[in-house]
Structure 1
Amino acid sequence: MRVDYRTTLPGGVKALQELEQAVRRSTLGPELLELVRIRASQINGCAYCLAMHNRDARAHGEHQTRLDVVAAWREAPLFTDRERAALTWCEALTDLPSSGAPDADYAAVAAAFTPEEVAALTFGIVAINGWNRLAVGLRTPLTSLDGLDLPANPPAPADPPQG
């Protein structure tokens, strides 16, 4: 790990955790929030967050096949219209420089969610993108995450990306 942000700036971690708590108090439900967290983490290439949120989604009863196809959710007939609107909004905000958060994507999310839920979903997307940037940027080790079902004989770790 480049910098252990959890111990170096605990106030920053606490602020993000408080944001997460506000989102959890919304009516969105943990299953939907985990799907959004997984999709943002896929886009951002965050192994730590992918492992965490796949683990957490399974703990909430999410079906493994749905988790297996989140990256290709548009082609999989396993997601509700509400989940599709949330995943569309997640992708638009996660890739904001390219997407610009199109009006059509906002219209879809606004049609599927109440204004309070739109705000909570948007805050949830902001939060996971922040966590992704901390974990990827500061190289949070995947193996530091509790409760993972790791392979018995994992390959030797590759050198971290340079740059």
Structure 2
Amino acid sequence: MSLAQRRGRKIMMSPGELDAFLGTQRTCRVATVSADGTPHVSALWFAWDGSSMWLYSVVRSRRWADLRRDPRVAIVVDTGEEYDELRGAELSGRVEFVGEAPRTGELHAELDAPETLFARKNLGLQEMPHDGRHAWLRLTPDKVVSWDFRKLASR
């Protein structure tokens, strides 16, 4: 095993740590690929339900158009300023489009939990407002890589 592999295992978040981290962070960076092959990265608020990341995206955005054409995505959530404070996760896979687009608030049981999580965490509201401009994307990641450099100081 290489030094990089051993170090990676030391700083990897446990499933509980990852859930806690993703449950409290607000902003992620979403990487897509445009039709001409150009990468595109944009910031977006999200909700984490313990197994999937829910993104509430403007449907008339480059991100939305990219994902309609190619649903592959990589998403990074990170925090920290100093080296020994850095924490984060990269989630990758294919997004699914859930509910109507744009979202107008039609009854959709699958969206009840993520909309409640999102509204409380990001908007300080008890229920999700719908502006007719956004819709839901769900990423149930195929791969998750995480890091918490604070763990290096404690060893």
Greater per-residue strand proportion: 2
Given the two structures, how large is their TM-score scaled by the length of structure 2? 0.27
User: Which of the pair has the greater relative contact order for Cα pairs under 8 Å at 6+ separation?
Assistant: 1
Given the two structures, how large is their TM-score scaled by the length of structure 1? 0.26
